[in-house]
Each structure stands twice: as C-alpha cells, then as structure tokens.
Amino acid sequence: MTLSQTSVARRERDPLRATRFELPAVVISGVGVLDQLPDLLAARGVTRVMAVTDRGLREGPVRDAVVAQLDRAGVDYTVFSEVESDPTIEVVEQLADRMRAEGHDGVVAFGGGSAMDAAKAAAAAVTGTGSVRDLLGVDKVQVDPLPLIAIPTTSGTGSEVARFSVLTDSADGAKSSISSMRIMPQVALLDARLVTGLPAHLTASTGFDALGHAVESFGSVWSNPISEALALRAMTLIGRHLRAAVATPGDLVARAGMQAASTSALMASNSTRLGLAHGLAVPLGATHHVPHGVAVSMMLRPMAAFNQAADPQRDAEMAAALDPSAEDLAGAIGSLQRDTNMGARLRDFDVLPTDYDRVIELAQRSDNLLANPREATVEDLKDLLEDAR
C-alpha cells in the first residue's frame, strides 16, 4: 500500500453540534407489500400515473407485477422505460414534458437508483415553474412535487428514501444533484420478491454501494446519534446477508435483510453526507463509466485504511459490526469482497495515473470530501486511486 500513515490531519467532531434528522417518507416493507399500491394511490387521490422505470425492466416479471397492481387500482397509466444508467438531464426533461402534456397527477418509480432519481427530478419539475436545470443545487425545489411512490428492485442506492437526485449532463458527462427533502418519495415499498431476479454481480455491487453509505455516514464528522445507529445496524445486516443474497438469489430472508440495510444506510447518510469513497467513485463513473457500486467497492477498502489512524475507535466499531472476526474495517471489507467476487480494479476500466488529476478535480466539487474524518491532500487522493488500480 502506498498510503502514508505518518501525518494524520484529523477533523475534529463536535458532539454538541446542532443536528437535524428528517424523514418525510413512509417506508413499508415485507413480502407482498406491493399489493398495497392500489390503496396507496387512492389515498393520495392519484388517477393518472406515470410509471417510470429503466430500460432493463421494459419487460419481465417485475414490470408485470407492478402493471398488474396499476390495473387493479383502476387508474390510467403510462409506462416510461427510457431511463438509462446515470440518467441525463435531457431524458428527465423529456419525461417531465410528457407528464405535463398527458396530465399525470402521480408517479410510481420502480427499478434501481437511476429510475427513482429520474422520477424524483421529473415529479419536481412538473409542479415547478422552471426547468430541471433550475432545480440543481441545494433546496432549489420550492413547490411540492407530484406524489411519488418508489419501489426499489435493487438493494444499494437507497434512492427510495434519499433527498438527492443525481443527474448527468450529457454535454460534459459531469454529475450534478438536486438536493431537497421535498423530492423524497412519499412512500417506499420494499418487497423482497422484486429483487430475487437480480443477478449475482449486481447484487454484490449494489450491496457495496449500501455498505459505502453506511461506512461513510458512520465515519462522517457530521454524523449524529440517530444516523450512527442506522448506519451501524446497516453494516451488521450487510455482513449477515450479502453473501447469502449473492450465493442464493431466491433467499427471501437475505433479500429482505439487504433491502433493510440499503434503506437504513441511506436514511443515515441523508443528514451526514459521505466520504472519500463516494467522493472518488462518482467522478470515476463520469470519466470512465465505472459502474457506481463497483467504483464504491474499489475505493472503500483504501479509504478505510486511510481513515483508520484518524479514528481507530470508530474503525473498530465498524469492523465488529460488519465482521466480528476481522482485525479492522479494511480487513472486513476485503473479506466480503473476496466472498462476493468483487475483485475489480481501476485498471480493468482503463483508468491510468494520467487520469487522476481530472478525477480529483471533479471529486473536489463535492462536500463528501469535507465530511471525511481525515483530511486528504491531492497526493493522498492520488495514493487512494493508485491503491485501487
């Protein structure tokens, strides 16, 4: 490992800092809860639904299950399945324009984080007075969006309870976010039946995204007792269930455990931001199209090793939650990576040392770096990237 442990610039925590933990979403979990969709739509007065999903769910049993509940609800609906991975601002604008033209009064998003992020942004744009671009930034959403019910079909992004919608500008590939509690879905439906068809490699990569949310939130200098409880429990659930979910896709107990972990981890990070792993993973997706969960996984162990000296007590707590047999958090992460075949390296995506400056430039635009418990110089960030290559 190239990371230097000789000089540790630790960020101090203020245990008396004023904090705010807010969660407007209702979370309903359990096998079969998708059947509640008709009643949830009726309770919100929704009669014309825009159902938003990604291209991978244009057809198949998940789409059929959701459409069957929309039929049972007796509502008019349209299925929009043009959302790509890392949804662009342009596609969201098209979606919002169509919703306005067709008079939709509610949204159902089913799929992974991309579908839910696109749906959240479009639902806000429809009720607002400007474009999607006008909503980018913090608390730019001034009017409540259309009612939105989110149905995740992966266990990692936590978008169903996130205050963020991450969008890509197709002009330069840069990612920007809408950040507002207003865009959080009104309801999140977690039905483990809907994730049993997720392939092993996607189960693993999305699981590491959830682990990143939990680890980075717990380590954040902006954490609070409520977020810490959620994050630590999420780590325990991931350590207990991710291996089984990867090995046995139909294991409903493991799938439900990973759904709970993903949602809990994002609930935590809503109020804390994240850290160096996500800070670097997001630009790696923009510059080299590294799948997000894979990028998080690659950066998570180097980040844990880097941060350990800044807060050894927290490192020990996280290691114990994730894997009681591990000596430290980096070791626990490495063991889980080996057991779930998450061995990708940055070189597998043609990331070269000459690319580091651009990745770091984009990373420094995010406040995730400021939440990390150990300050990182440009050279530190290059060392982290090299360790993952």
Domains and CATH numbers, the chain: 33-190 (3.40.50.1970), 200-388 (1.20.1090.10)
- Cα three-residue angle 301-358-380, rounded to 5 degrees: 40
At 103-128, the pLDDT tens digits run 999 999 999 999 999 999 999 999 98
Residue 303 CA, chain-centre distance (Å), reads 18
Q: What is the pLDDT of residue 135?
A: 94
User: Mean pLDDT over all residues of the chain?
Assistant: 93
1 pLDDT higher than 60: no
Cβ proximity of 82 and 55 under 8 Å: yes
The residue that leads in pLDDT, 288 or 108, is 108
280 pLDDT tier (thresholds 50, 70, 90): very high
* pTM of the predicted protein model: 0.91
Q: Which helix (H) or strand (E) holds 177?
A: strand 175-179
Q: What is the pLDDT of residue 23?
A: 80
The residues facing 51 across adjacent strands are: 79, 108
Q: What is the pLDDT of residue 6?
A: 52
DSSP, residue by residue, 69-120: HHHHHT-EEEEEEEEPSS-BHHHHHHHHHHHHHHT--EEEEEESHHHHHHHH
Q: What is the pLDDT of residue 85?
A: 84
Mark residue 53 as left, alpha or beta (left: phi above 0; alpha: psi -120 to 50; beta: remaining): beta
Write down the H helix ranges in the chain: 37-43, 61-73, 89-102, 113-127, 200-219, 225-247, 252-269, 276-288, 292-307, 312-322, 329-339, 356-363, 368-371, 378-388
CA atoms of 304 and 323, how far apart (whole Å)? 14
Q: What is the pLDDT of residue 3?
A: 52
Percentage of the chain modeled with pLDDT above 90: 84
